[in-house]
Amino acid sequence: MLGLSPETTMLAAVVLPFIGAIAIAFLHRSPNLREAATLVTAVLLAALVWSLAGPVMAGARPDVALIEVVPGLPLAFKVEPLGLMFALVASTLWIVNSIYSIGYMRAHDEPRQTTFYVCFAIALGSAVGLAFSRNLFTLFLFYELLTLSTYPLVTHNGDRKALIGGRIYLMLLIGSSMVLLLPAIIVTAFLSGTTEFTAGGILPKGLDATIVGLLLALYAFGIGKAALMPLHFWLPSAMVAPTPVSALLHAVAVVKAGVFTVLKVVIYVFGVETLTAGGARDWLVYFASATLIAASLVALTRQNLKARLAYSTVSQLSYVVLAAAIATSSSLIGGGMHIVMHAAGKITLFFCAGAIYVAAHKTEIGELDGIGRRMPVTMAAFFIASLSIIGLPPFGGVWSKWLIGAGALDAGFAFVVGVLMVSSLLNVAYLLPIVGRAFFLPPKPDDHDVHGEAPLACLIPIVITATLCLVLFFAAGTIEELLRPLVTARPG
């Protein structure tokens, strides 16, 4: 695109959202121009990232080192398939989300919208930077920036609840990353003399399995954004944020940044051989399975729609952590693919939750009786996305679960297949009753709300992302092809 070299495109993609943020800040007097700036930035960003797809599929790996911050710790970027995929997801959904945000924020007449859009752009910039990081240090930098830039979004409402939610959010994410992740990075730098992501891993071979296991624990819990229990409860706390934030950031950008980091660490820092030798990662398989089931069970008990979706996200994130822990070819590809599939599904669900809130001011599941008659499009989309999350054909979610299950069998973790099936049943149990209630129960007698669908700016994104769930079912082959080099590339 525009005749830019892949390297320049990559840097431009990292820098663009930050420039966009500045532009948005300067346009605060004119909401229309400001929103235009958001949209233009989002579209340009997606264009830049998509233009990288071709070269990367063809085998190119744009690579730029900017500056050596500390000897051995350069600020450096490199596009590889997994990062590209994450950047594609984040940047593409940002366009959709921006349209939705505009509809949602205006319909609600929210205060402080400029701050909202500025922080959103910075968060997206951090996510792209994180996706294109060439080493742990760069990744850590953007990881922290992502936390800090989303804090104002979480606390957007400015009331007591937002304040408490923000505290938990900040302390848990900053705390885990400072106290666990950073030491893990320090240990890695000390053991291997570098933090560069390298195919096959950088840890010295023949490391004791106990040390590998401990280091893995530091990473798995230090990456708090992956929401592994018991460090998951920042995510439900973050639900005090406006729904577009929950949709893009706490179903896609932030949480996926977490599991993306886990995958990245497993593939490029540990390396599959080091990780699996001596069963160093076995505990994480059990742990992720436990989180997976437990979070689904908690989701069942939640009567607030966004809270239920949040726990569903916690559970779904564990699929990816589980896939990373199993660490076979198909599970790793499945884990990567699940980032995409779950993103499309969950963002749709959150969009629907937001649309219901905008149109009917309802947040509790118990209030949704019969709402399907007034908001048929929204609830149909909800249904489609639910099916994708559950993992039924013809929707995207089925493939990633399939691959993870297949990988588990390869590695001899037969019980994981059982876990996946139980979890799918639980998904059915906590998602489909909502749809059933909406379409088949009569409205409560005291429900005299007269409303239709949410504004068009909210509705269009819902339709787009729901369609995406279907499209992804057929695109799985392409994603698989993109991710294949992750597991085939072996050093020398």
d(CA 79, CA 56): 8
Q: Which residue reads 């505990």 in tokens?
A: 283
Q: Which residue reads 């989303």 in tokens?
A: 150
Query: Which segment (3-11, 154-162, 444-452, 466-474) binds other proteins by CB under 8 A?
Result: 154-162
Phi-psi region of 72 (alpha: psi -120 to 50; beta: other; left: phi over 0): left
Q: Interface with other proteins includes 186 (CB under 8 A)?
A: yes
CB of 411 within 8 A of CB of 377? Answer: no
CA torsion, ordered 260, 292, 248, 223, to nearest 10 deg: -40
Give the contacts of 445 (CB within 8 A, at least 6 positions apart): none
Q: Interface with other proteins includes 140 (CB under 8 A)?
A: yes
d(CA 216, CA 278): 13
Q: Interface with other proteins includes 15 (CB under 8 A)?
A: no
Strands 73-78 and 63-70, how do they pair?
A: antiparallel
d(CA 286, CA 419): 10
Nearer to other proteins, 141 or 406 (CB): 141
d(CA 154, CA 156): 5
For residue 374, the tally of other CB atoms under 10 A from its CB is: 18
d(CA 432, CA 75): 46
> For the chain, give me the number of helices (H) and strands (E)?
20, 2
DSSP characters for 222-242? H-GGG--TTS-THHHHGGGS-
CB of 138 to other proteins, least distance (A): 9
Nearer to other proteins, 120 or 430 (CB): 120
Q: Interface with other proteins includes 145 (CB under 8 A)?
A: yes
CB of 117 to other proteins, least distance (A): 16
Report the site for other proteins in 109-138 (rule: CB under 8 A): 137
Query: Which segment (100-108, 178-186, 244-252, 411-419) binds other proteins by CB under 8 A?
Result: 178-186
Nearer to other proteins, 92 or 176 (CB): 176
Site string for other proteins, 41-80 (x = CB under 8 A): --------------------------x-xx--x-x-----
CB of 282 to other proteins, least distance (A): 24
Q: Interface with other proteins includes 182 (CB under 8 A)?
A: yes
Site string for other proteins, 262-291 (x = CB under 8 A): ------------------------------
Query: Which segment (181-189, 370-378, 380-388, 463-471) binds other proteins by CB under 8 A?
Result: 181-189
Q: Residues 35, 144, 196, 367: which binds other proteins (CB under 8 A)?
A: 144
Helix locations, 132-253, DSSP H: 136-154, 160-176, 182-192, 209-222, 234-237, 243-248
Q: Interface with other proteins includes 214 (CB under 8 A)?
A: no
Q: Interface with other proteins includes 29 (CB under 8 A)?
A: no
Q: Interface with other proteins includes 211 (CB under 8 A)?
A: no
Nearer to other proteins, 145 or 239 (CB): 145
Site string for other proteins, 218-247 (x = CB under 8 A): ------------------------------
d(CA 278, CA 211): 11
- The tokens describing 186, both together, are 């320090």
Report the site for other proteins in 432-461 (rule: CB under 8 A): none
Size of the site for other proteins (CB under 8 A): 29
- β-partners of residue 369 are none
One-letter identity of residue 473: F
Alpha-carbon distances of 187 from 40, 153, 302, 324, 489, rounded to whole Å: 42, 33, 40, 20, 25
Q: Residues 141, 300, 422, 432: which binds other proteins (CB under 8 A)?
A: 141
Q: Interface with other proteins includes 356 (CB under 8 A)?
A: no
Q: Residues 54, 158, 193, 452: which binds other proteins (CB under 8 A)?
A: 158
Q: Which residue reads 């922080």 in tokens?
A: 119
d(CA 390, CA 165): 29
Nearer to other proteins, 137 or 270 (CB): 137
Q: Residues 47, 148, 214, 277: which binds other proteins (CB under 8 A)?
A: 148
Q: Residues in the site for other proteins, rule: CB under 8 A?
A: 67, 69-70, 73, 75, 137, 140-141, 144-145, 148, 155, 158, 162-163, 166-167, 170-171, 174-175, 178-179, 182-183, 186-187, 189-190
